[in-house]
Amino acid sequence: MNPDTAKQPITLRDMGSFHIGGRVVEITGKPMREILFSAGGVPAQIDPNGQYQIEAMYVQYFLPQHRQGKYPLMMWHGGGLTGVTYETTPDGREGWLTMFIRNGWDVYISDAVERGRSGFAPPEIWPDPPLHLTKANPFERFRIGPRAGWNSDPAKREPYPGNQFPVEAYDDFTKQFAPRWTGTNDAVIAAYIALVDKVGPSILMFHSQAGAFGFKVAEARPDLVKALIAIEPAVAGDGALAGRLKNIPTLMVYGDYIERDSRWPHMHRLGLAYAGSLRAASGIVDVVNLPEAGIKGNSHMLMMDRNNAEIAGLIQRWLANKGLAGSNPPIR
């Protein structure tokens, strides 16, 4: 991205939000409850029986005045997180949301079903308890540092040498964690499909867990998905359905330290094998392993790393090379 534009105002022809998808369920046979909604308020008799609206998805959109992108760009976050992933970084730098708005993209940014402003269903519907992440867990899983490098004292943490994650803001990053369920994939995918059906032809950018969603939505709506940008997908698509994606240009981006992690070498291999399936089906796939491209030190959270503008620029150039970024994209 061009650093000169970073201080320019952002002019939007529109911005707003909506919820999409979901379903209505009925709960019966529960006793009445008396609830004091606010201390000092008036108690209310609450009948927990009845219909509940569940599994809708929250979407916020920002439409720049000078649109350059050929299609809207969707930003789908990874597991245990929300759309906040793409906003301001935990250490207060500009995130990908505004970088891509500045480059003229209509951006639709969402909280997957169960997460953030999408809410979650009652335990009668989702019986398993949600999973809360400790502060320590993503330090290792997101390849900021090895398990042995974790310390509750920020001054004593030992990240991987040269790591680009703003480790001094790791504690602030942990404030973005949102509890998650592990059995909600079908509901998440249904809402994403409803979103693509509403917005129309779109480019999907998705991170980590959302590999399980982005590729699936492309398989379900190959005519509406115009490009895929998979940021360290933890899950690949279905190789047997690779032919459905043959007209969808696909970019896969991976960071550093993969071989030092216990799980990422396998997930990386799965991604590379899937890229092979897409190519075998005449698909157009580019895999960028950043260290091989001379870009070192990236964690799993590429969009927050210190060089996040450099990675955004790489994605913007790829989109431009595919003829999707408009006539005059201000790429660097």
- Which 99-118 residues touch a second copy, going by CB under 8 A? 111, 116-117
In degrees rounded to 5, what are phi and psi of residue 49? Answer: -85, 145
Length of the chain measured in residues = 332
* Options 74, 107, 144, 235; binder of a second copy; rule CB under 8 A: 235
Residues binding a second copy: what is the number (CB under 8 A)? 84
In degrees rounded to 5, what are phi and psi of residue 290? Answer: -55, -40
| Contact indicator for 313, 1 with CB cutoff of 8 Å | yes
- Report the alpha-carbon distance of residue 251 to residue 230 in Å, rounded: 6
Q: Which is nearer to a second copy, 46 or 240 (CB)?
A: 46
| Contact indicator for 88, 172 with CB cutoff of 8 Å | no
Nearest distance in Å: CB 200, a second copy: 16
* Binding status of residue 2 toward a second copy by CB under 8 A: no
Q: Which token pair is 22?
A: 């979901």
* Binding status of residue 121 toward a second copy by CB under 8 A: yes
Nearest distance in Å: CB 164, a second copy: 20
Q: Which token pair is 29?
A: 């046979």
- Report the alpha-carbon distance of residue 319 to residue 325 in Å, rounded: 6
Tell me the window of 127-135, 155-163, 243-251, 252-260 that interacts with a second copy (CB under 8 A): 127-135
| Contact indicator for 226, 201 with CB cutoff of 8 Å | yes
- Report the alpha-carbon distance of residue 324 to residue 317 in Å, rounded: 10
* Binding status of residue 32 toward a second copy by CB under 8 A: no
| Angle between helix 185-199 and helix 211-220 axes, rounded to 10 deg | 50
Restricted to residues 54-73, the positions that interact with a second copy (CB under 8 A) are 56, 58, 60, 65
* Options 218, 234, 290, 303; binder of a second copy; rule CB under 8 A: 234
Q: Which token pair is 32?
A: 């009445």
Listed residue (131, 123, 119) closest to 80, CA to CA:
131
The SS3 call for residue 165 is: coil
* Binding status of residue 255 toward a second copy by CB under 8 A: no
What mask of x and - would describe binding to a second copy in positions 187 to 216, judged by CB under 8 A?
----------------------x-xx----
* Binding status of residue 174 toward a second copy by CB under 8 A: yes
Tell me the window of 51-59, 160-168, 224-232, 276-284 that interacts with a second copy (CB under 8 A): 51-59
Restricted to residues 275-314, the positions that interact with a second copy (CB under 8 A) are none
* Binding status of residue 5 toward a second copy by CB under 8 A: no
Tell me the window of 46-54, 222-230, 250-258, 275-283 that interacts with a second copy (CB under 8 A): 46-54
